[in-house]
Amino acid sequence: MGSSTESKSKVTNEEEEVYSHAMVLGSAIVLPAVFQAVVNLDVLDIINKAGPGAELSASEIASQIPTKNPEGAAKMLDRVLGLLVSFNILCCSFSTHGVRLYSLAPVAKYYVSDQNGVSMRPYMNLSLDKVMMPGWFQLKDQILEGELSYNKALGMDFYDYLGTDSRFNEVFNNGMIGQTSFVINKIVESYKGFQNITRLVDVGGGLGITLSDHNFQIPSY
């Protein structure tokens, strides 16, 4: 009898996990929207500037952002920060008075500005920009037509569009700068073959960030 009860309980727990997963998938747009808002409010930078391992309450964070309603902002922050905890972006503990305290999880470091002001924030803003989103909403039709392209959503070639929209052009370049800096730094750290090169030519497009990062870390060429 006990074995049967345990088996039913296990099945119930597994089904609840599957249902929870289905709910997450059905509301998948919530996480990037919430995370973008939190990052652009400088919440992660605020926690980081408080010092290594710092734990701040939503009220303490709200007091450092330009809100007209600190109390209301703190309540809203407490809810959205709880969501980020469930996705291991933030960590949470409780004060002796039962107040939730938030700290940075390891992945959050990529969205905190480094000593050069570089982070993955611009790349996220690029991915979620209003110019980029229509392409995703038209994905079903593009698959049916056998043409996966942002060109259809924009009505022209993607790079031609950059020349018509100065705002998005800046968003695009900033997004590429942040992402490129992280990738190139990882390559230079792990691959030592560049140290024996006397001449390096960048033949790509963009703003030359790849070459400038190389020159900064390996100034011998």
64-80 pLDDT per residue, tens: 999 999 999 999 999 99
Residue 200 clears pLDDT 80, i.e. is over it: no
What are the C-alpha distances in Å from 83 to residues 43, 90, 103?
Answer: 14, 9, 13
CATH architecture, range 2-109: Orthogonal Bundle (1.10)
- Residue range 129-153, pLDDT digits in tens: 999 998 888 888 888 988 767 788 8
> CA-to-CA distance for 81 and 97, rounded, in angstroms?
19
Q: Give me 32's structure tokens.
A: 């990037």
Residue with tokens 């570089």: 118
CATH class for the region spanning 113-217: alpha beta
Handedness of CA 214, 113, 177, 83 (dihedral sign): positive
Phi and psi for 101 in degrees, rounded to 5?
-120, 130
- pLDDT, tens digit, for every residue of 153-166? 888 888 899 999 99
pLDDT at 217 > cutoff 60: no
Contact 132, 158 (CB under 8 A): no
**pLDDT on residue 45:** 96
Strands (E), 14-88: 56-57
Compute the distance between CA of residue 80 and CA of residue 63 in angstroms, rounded to an integer: 16
CA distance 159 to 186: 28
218 CB neighbour count, 10 Å cutoff: 14
Over residues 10-37, the mean pLDDT reads 91
- Residue boundaries of the structural domains of the chain: 2-109, 113-217
Cα distances (Å, whole numbers) of residue 127 to 43, 148, 175, 178, 193: 20, 17, 8, 13, 33
> For the chain, what is the total number of helices (H) and then of strands (E)?
12, 3
184 backbone dihedrals φ, ψ, rounded to 5°: -65, -40
Distances (CA, A) of 184 to 181, 187, 193, 213: 5, 5, 13, 7
d(CA 5, CA 161): 62
Using alpha carbons, select from 83, 98, 82, 93 the residue that is nearest to residue 29.
Answer: 83
**pTM to 2 decimal places:** 0.80
